[in-house]
Structure 1
Amino acid sequence: MADNPEDLKQQIIGLVEEKGFPGELGALAADSLGSEHAMLRMIGWLRNSQPRRAEDIADEMLAICEDRDNWRRKKESEFYQQKYNRYLWDMKK
């Protein structure tokens, strides 16, 4: 399996079309996901699900984006907490 973004986007489009929805929906979902990891998650979901409505695909794409954003916020928070802890440690010296 190729992991470059354009190939992943084409896979999403193809899977969305296989499910009976327009390729434009797949392109929009792939563009919105943003990262290769998120695209791979969407591909996995599309392979293992039977969405009945276009909204099902959009909902899953939004859930994946929310997970990605939560992870990003968590890592940012950990980074700044570490800096703050270092600051407090240095103040004690």
Structure 2
Amino acid sequence: FFFIMNLQQITREKHTYMLQTGDLRQELKKQEGYVEEQRESLFSRLVELEQSAADYCEQIGNFHTNCLQTVSSMKQNRESATENATKYQQTVEDLEKWLSS
């Protein structure tokens, strides 16, 4: 009788163990699926981030080029304004001389 009880208990424990093992395997598959989804999601987000960074770098480069061109243009304008001011001053002086004579 004791042997039969033990056999029934062993059978129940084996059944419980198999159920738990199956549940654990299913849980593992779920977690592996979740990890794979996260990996794919993060990879696509990383690609988007890299593209955004590349676009941003291009915009910064363009802005830098525009700044350099603006500074160059400002220098040329300043030189031109200085030359014009000198010419106008000379013209004023010439006219003043002409009026005094």
TM-score (norm 2): 0.40
Greater RCO, 1 or 2 (C-alpha within 8 Å, sep 6+): 1
Q: Which has the higher helix share?
A: 2
Larger-Rg structure: 2
TM-score (norm 1): 0.44
